[in-house]
């Protein structure tokens, strides 16, 4: 089989280049402390920023919701799979982020595919940051709109593209917090350009929801409000559960219900998740101590690596990448950290342009966890110098 031989060759090349990916099996709940293959680790790779994924109140809510609703929805939302639990969560979410209406999706990837392809098509143009998440890029390509990418956070370049465009409709697409760098997009400037050039602005707040704006996300953090804004939050990170939600004007939400293929043509997520997510919104709003503790940990980590500041990226968020020279070095350091009891993924091209250790901090970590990690990283960076 020629095709299979080529696949084997490509896999061998990835192994040689240090780019081969494989999975690891967790034997515990997700959290700051995990067990993999019988060994205990302090986990610095999870996006469970508020430590809610194993929260007892959410687990109790999920159990009660499963007993009430069952464990499956049985159909798509538009057939007979849209439960009152879904409706209640969408109402709660829209109110929580300050938008008129919301729509829930099974995953953030499906949300991005559905929203962008529903709002842009042939004759339109989509303008996207070059460091946007892969799901946003895929959605832009699949939309069949003209796909224009501007250098990371370069508002002058974006304005040149917008001013030169003769597209029927314009859509600007950006992450809020960039998942591999940890920096924040210039959101006020993006909205100003959307207003100036009559564009819609779609913001993927996957890593900001629950963390920024007292938990209400990037719009609240920067005081942004406009009917042009379409807001996405993924719900398997800081919210601790699963899925995604998009909030916007009611007419846009109604259009997505009618035109977003990844919403229309898939089985709805189990209603037990929707009910659990409504409870998660309550905890995010009430338990500000989680964000306060998280910010202390971010400052502590950066202080612990102040002698190696050149290795750190400009990030004030829980995503704290540590840059390294080569793929091989990233893999060696990741292995050394695991030997020392720290679970940290080595992120390499093509996911990122330069290899790095992607450290993520959560409210479930202790100060000692972070201090010990910083000390171990200092030693490894000094040995590699």
Distance from C-alpha of 212 to C-alpha of 215, rounded to nearest angstrom: 5
Cα 135 off chain centre by:
10
Cα 90 off chain centre by:
19
Token pair listed for 1: 């089989």
pLDDT of residue 290: 98
pLDDT (tens digit per residue) in 105-141: 999 999 999 999 999 999 999 999 999 999 999 999 9
pLDDT of residue 22: 86
**E-state strands within the chain:** 33-36, 39-43, 101-105, 125-129, 146-150, 170-175, 199-204, 229-234, 244-248, 319-323, 342-343, 346-347, 356-360
CATH topology of domain 22-50+288-384: 3.90.1150
207 a known binding residue? yes
Cα four-point dihedral sign 224, 230, 235, 237: negative
226 a known binding residue? no
Domain with CATH 3.40.640.10 in the chain: 56-286
Token pair listed for 287: 């338990």
Token pair listed for 189: 């400037």
Torsion-angle region of 206 (φ positive above 0: left; ψ -120 to 50: alpha; else: beta): alpha
pLDDT (tens digit per residue) in 14-42: 999 878 888 999 999 999 999 999 999 99
Residue 368: CB partners within 8 Å, gap ≥ 6? none
356 a known binding residue? no
Q: Which of 169, 166, 163 is nearest to 150 (CA)?
A: 163
pLDDT of residue 127: 98
pLDDT of residue 94: 98
Cα 190 off chain centre by:
19
21 a known binding residue? yes
166 a known binding residue? no
Element holding 89 (H helix, E strand): helix 84-97
Distance from C-alpha of 187 to C-alpha of 213, rounded to nearest angstrom: 13
Distance from C-alpha of 227 to C-alpha of 230, rounded to nearest angstrom: 8
Per-residue pLDDT of the chain (385 residues; tens, 9 = 90+): 899 999 999 999 999 987 888 899 999 999 999 999 999 999 999 999 999 999 999 999 999 999 999 999 999 999 999 999 999 999 999 999 999 999 999 999 999 999 999 999 999 999 999 999 999 999 999 999 999 999 999 999 999 999 999 999 999 999 999 999 999 999 999 999 999 999 999 999 999 999 999 999 999 999 999 999 999 999 999 999 999 999 999 999 999 999 999 999 999 999 999 999 999 999 999 999 999 999 999 999 999 999 999 999 999 999 999 999 999 899 999 999 999 999 999 998 888 989 999 999 999 999 999 999 999 999 999 988 7
Query: Cis peptide leading into 350, omega within 30 of 0?
Result: yes
Q: Which CATH architecture has domain 56-286?
A: 3-Layer(aba) Sandwich (3.40)
pLDDT of residue 168: 94
Asked whether 213 and 183 are in contact (CB, 8 A), the reply is no
Cα 182 off chain centre by:
11
pLDDT of residue 138: 97
Domain with CATH 3.90.1150.10 in the chain: 22-50+288-384
107 a known binding residue? no
Distance from C-alpha of 104 to C-alpha of 85, rounded to nearest angstrom: 11
The pairing of strands 39-43 and 33-36 is antiparallel
Q: Compute the half-sphere exposure of residue 179: CA atoms within 13 Å on the CB side of its CA.
A: 21
68 a known binding residue? no
The residues pairing with 246 across neighbouring beta strands, listed in sequence order, are 103, 232
CA-derived radius of gyration, the chain = 21
pLDDT of residue 85: 98
109 a known binding residue? yes
């Amino acid at each position: 089989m020629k095709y299979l031989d080529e696949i084997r060759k490509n896999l061998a090349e990835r192994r040689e280049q240090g780019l081969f990916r494989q999975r690891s099996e967790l034997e515990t709940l997700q959290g700051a402390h995990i067990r993999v293959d019988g060994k205990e680790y302090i986990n610095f790779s999870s996006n469970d920023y508020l430590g809610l994924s194993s929260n007892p109140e959410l687990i109790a809510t999920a159990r009660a919701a499963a007993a009430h609703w069952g464990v499956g929805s049985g159909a798509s939302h538009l057939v007979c799979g849209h439960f009152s639990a879904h409706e209640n969560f969408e109402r709660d979410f829209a109110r929580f982020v300050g938008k008129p209406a919301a729509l829930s999706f099974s995953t953030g990837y499906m949300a991005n595919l559905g929203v962008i392809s529903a709002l842009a098509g042939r004759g339109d143009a989509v303008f996207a940051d070059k460091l946007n998440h892969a799901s946003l890029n895929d959605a832009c390509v699949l939309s069949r709109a003209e796909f224009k990418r501007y250098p990371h956070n370069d508002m002058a370049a974006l304005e040149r593209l917008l001013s030169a465009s003769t597209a029927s409709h314009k859509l600007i697409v950006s992450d809020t917090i960039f998942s591999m760098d940890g920096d924040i997009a210039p959101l006020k400037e993006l909205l100003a350009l959307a207003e100036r050039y009559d564009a819609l602005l779609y913001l993927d707040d996957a890593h900001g929801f629950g963390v920024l704006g007292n938990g209400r996300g990037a719009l609240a953090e920067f005081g942004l409000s406009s009917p042009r804004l379409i807001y996405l939050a993924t719900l398997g990170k800081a919210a601790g559960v699963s899925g995604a939600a998009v909030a916007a004007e009611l007419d846009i939400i109604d259009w997505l219900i009618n035109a977003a293929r990844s919403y229309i043509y898939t089985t709805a997520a189990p209603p037990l998740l929707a009910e659990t997510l409504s409870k998660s919104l309550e905890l995010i709003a009430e338990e500000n101590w989680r964000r306060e503790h998280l910010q202390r940990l971010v400052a502590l980590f950066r202080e612990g690596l102040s002698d190696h500041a050149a290795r750190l990226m400009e990030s004030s968020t829980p995503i704290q990448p540590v840059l390294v020279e080569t793929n091989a070095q990233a893999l060696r350091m990741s292995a050394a950290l695991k030997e020392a009891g720290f679970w940290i993924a080595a992120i390499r091209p093509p996911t990122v342009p330069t290899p790095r250790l992607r450290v993520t901090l959560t409210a479930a970590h202790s100060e000692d966890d972070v201090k010990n990690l910083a000390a171990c990283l200092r030693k490894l960076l000094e040995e590699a110098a």
